[in-house]
Amino acid sequence: MKVLIIDDEPHIRQMMRLTLEASGYVVGEAGSGEEGLTAFADGRAYDVIILDQKMPGIDGLATLKRLKERKPDAKVLMVTAFASIELAVDAMKLGAADFLRKPMTPETLRGALAAASVTGRTPVRITAAGERPEIQTVTLNGFQITSPRALAANRTDDEHAFLVKHFASATETTVAVAIDPEAVDRIHRLTGRTLAPQGAFFRLQAERLLSAYVWSEGKTPDNGRLTVRDVSRDDVDVALAWESD
């Protein structure tokens, strides 16, 4: 598999390149969106593009849009240290195949590429105004977490539903993550803001809790349920700046 890394930080590109070359990938590099577009050309030379979001000049989203204009079925993994639900949604609307957060381990990077090749996932299509695309999270130990809209219909207003796939065992499990009222109240007390338990901020908290659980336990919860009972100090700061829910 041929991979093109587009990132303005040389040490990040080197880490990714060495990691992937050790796994048998053929890797090209570009230090900006402009260089990446030149290297990409018509897209026939590369199977996957790893694209940084925050770069001088043409940023990641603008580069992603131009890549998809040249080759609509291009597989692009968006990478950022400044993750948010809004940014992930924008990337998926433009056709990103996956969304990874910095810093990442070599296992995370290899796992994301492996998942892309195993699932053969096609770009997400937005079929109605305001429709939320299905965003994937791939854990280090081979779990893929998605939140299909179809699962939400059977959940209460304080729950978020996720589909968890384990690549090694080829199993799929539905997990419901509830939001404890105390977590909602903590955000209100510390920020003065009321963020709905069914909104995007608490969906992010639910996804993080589930990701941490399957990573530490190596399985989904036996009863198919978890509960967000607290919010970290860092996430309180995120809630203060949260633009939409």
Segment 104-136, tens digit of pLDDT: 777 778 877 876 665 444 344 333 344 444 556
* Cβ atoms of 53 and 60 closer than 8 Å: yes
The fold for domain 2-119 equals Rossmann fold (3.40.50)
Q: Which class does domain 139-241 fall in?
A: alpha beta
Reported pTM: 0.52
10-residue averages of pLDDT along the chain (245 residues)? 93 88 92 95 91 90 92 87 65 75 75 65 39 56 78 78 86 95 94 92 90 84 95 85 72
**DSSP one-letter string for 202-235:** HHHHHHHHHHHHHHHHSS--TTSEEEE----HHH
| Domain 2-119 and domain 139-241 have a common topology | no
Which is nearest to 72 in space by CA: 52, 39, 94?
Answer: 94
Amino acid residing at 83: A
Q: Calculate the CA 139 to chain-centre distance.
A: 10
- The helix or strand, by DSSP H or E, that contains position 13, with its residue range, turns out to be helix 10-22
* Cβ atoms of 28 and 3 closer than 8 Å: yes
- pLDDT 10s digits, 65-94: 999 999 988 889 888 876 555 666 677 777
Which is nearest to 144 in space by CA: 123, 163, 122?
Answer: 163
Which is nearest to 54 in space by CA: 40, 43, 64, 66?
Answer: 64
Give domain limits for the chain: 2-119, 139-241
